[in-house]
Amino acid sequence: MEALLGFKEESTDYVQLGISTSSSSSYSYKLVPWLSWDEWLFVDESLFSSSPNSVASALRRISAWRSRGCLPVVIEVMSSIIEIQQKDPYFRKDQSNDALDNCRGDQSSDASLSDEMLAMLYCMAIMRLVNGVVEKTRKKTEVSIAVAADAIGIPRTLIDIRHEGSHRELPALEVVRSASVKALDWLKYYYWEPQKKAIPFHSNETAGIKTEIRSKFHELAFCLRIKNTPHLRSSKVKEKRGSKKDLTKILKSLVGLYSAFSSEVVSVLLEFLLKGINSSDSSELPVNTQSSPNLHISLNEWKLVITKFSNKEPELLLALLNAVLDMIENQEAVIYETGCVRTSSDHRAETLQVETSLLCLSGLSKILKD
């Protein structure tokens, strides 16, 4: 299995889990389709929820991840098996079909699937699991699928079903149905649980990095404010914090941080931009910035910061634009996912979030044009 973004790839078996340990000597990073570990945790909690609505929400989010590419095979297989189980009356007998149908329009024909079709779907998912996971764990020296599977503890039943489905008759529905439960249990053990345990360490490390980035951007904004404010230019404040030497030093620090933690720098800048927009007027977000002097000033201040920094890192603006577009996509996905249970106040809050993001996108586009 591919290592995950933010975790360091190692020469041990942990590479297959995407989890890092402190003893690693060689590192690299892998791109993943989720924007944050909070989003990953949302899918983790929803995917294994007893609520059909939550499960459907998680499956839609994974579908969005799949469209972005680089989806780990373990997540792809897990979602496939769960989706097949939702189409299987055996697993849905205690669930509210109406609730699932309201949030997933493609479920209307699930009840018409034959036993043979369900067995084939289960079999294909299990074959994908064995081929996708086991093949990546095999060493350069040739070993059989069975030996490689034993090395990572995959249930023997899954190996047998892969063999039967590939070379003999399609296994009975009862067999592959039972195997699907074993597959989910193994995937939890192999990927989800170890990954979840590794996230807190990564989150604490990232929090410290973001704190440093925020501090440097505050210093940069303060220096630029002094430089561009007439009554401060001649004060003692400039002597302490507003000199050209200080400005150069801060920019150098930010360039170093960006080279090592570009996604964290983009995240912090985006956070500041959104706060600047929201602080102008929390109840109404005007489309025309001329009607809101505070908004105009706030955005101009951050425009100066971003322009100054992007002179050193030209690709920053494109990275910010992509981050805003991803954020808008996620916000619209949330509105869609909660459409059947959303109140009017929730709708208003979600709409304001999208409007705020669009204002941010507009401001960044103007900076790029300039």
Model confidence pLDDT, tens digit, residues 168-189 = 888 889 999 999 999 999 999 9
Q: Return the higher-pLDDT residue of 157 and 140.
A: 157
Tell me which residue has tokens 């490689």.
148
* Per-residue pLDDT tens over the stretch 39-49: 898 899 889 88
Single-letter amino acid code for the residue at 250: I
Of 176, 201, 226, the last residue of a domain is 201
User: Rounded to whole angstroms, what are the CA distances from 138 to 19, 142, 147, 149, 319?
Assistant: 18, 8, 9, 9, 37
Tell me: do 79 and 153 sit in the same domain. Answer: yes
The per-residue pLDDT for 121 is: 94
Average pLDDT of span 298-302: 64
Tell me: do 145 and 103 sit in the same domain. Answer: yes
Q: Tell me if 257 sits within 8 A of 309, measured CB to CB.
A: no
Decide if 251 is inside a domain.
Answer: no
The per-residue pLDDT for 363 is: 60
The per-residue pLDDT for 189 is: 92
Query: What are the tokens at 354?
Result: 């999208």
Nearest-CA neighbor of 80 among 137, 138, 120?
Answer: 120
Decide if 236 is inside a domain.
Answer: no
| Least confident among 57-66, 141-150, 177-186 | 141-150
pLDDT higher than 90, residue 364: no
Tell me: do 289 and 273 sit in the same domain. Answer: yes
Of 179, 201, 223, the last residue of a domain is 201
The per-residue pLDDT for 273 is: 77
Average pLDDT of span 182-210: 84
The per-residue pLDDT for 354 is: 54
Radius of gyration of the chain from Cα atoms? 25
Q: Return the higher-pLDDT residue of 137 and 257.
A: 257
Tell me: do 152 and 16 sit in the same domain. Answer: no
The per-residue pLDDT for 314 is: 81
DSSP 206-275: HHHHHHHHHHHHHHHHHHHHHHT-HHHHTSHHHHHH-SHHHHHHHHHHHHHHHHH-HHHHHHHHHHHHHH
* Per-residue pLDDT tens over the stretch 81-110: 999 999 898 887 655 444 444 444 444 444
Query: What are the tokens at 141?
Result: 């020296």
The per-residue pLDDT for 174 is: 92
Q: Tell me if 6 sits within 8 A of 204, measured CB to CB.
A: no
Query: What are the tokens at 187?
Result: 């995937």
pLDDT band at 77 (very low <50, low <70, confident <90, very high): very high
pLDDT higher than 70, residue 151: yes
Which residues, in sequence order, are CB contacts of 345 under 8 Å at separation 6+? none
What is the domain count for the chain? 3
**For residues 162 and 112, what is the distance between their CA atoms, to the nearest angstrom?**
26
Q: Return the higher-pLDDT residue of 340 and 139.
A: 139
**For residues 266 and 29, what is the distance between their CA atoms, to the nearest angstrom?**
17
pTM for this entry? 0.57
Tell me: do 103 and 56 sit in the same domain. Answer: yes
Tell me: do 109 and 188 sit in the same domain. Answer: yes
What domain range is 280 assigned to?
265-370
User: Rounded to whole angstroms, what are the CA distances from 342 to 43, 79, 193, 334?
Assistant: 19, 25, 31, 10
CA angle 208, 62, 120 (to 5 degrees): 145
The per-residue pLDDT for 216 is: 87
Tell me: do 108 and 70 sit in the same domain. Answer: yes
Tell me: do 304 and 196 sit in the same domain. Answer: no
Tell me: do 129 and 159 sit in the same domain. Answer: yes
Count the alpha carbons within 13 Å of 346 in the hemisphere toward its beta carbon.
12
Tell me: do 48 and 180 sit in the same domain. Answer: yes
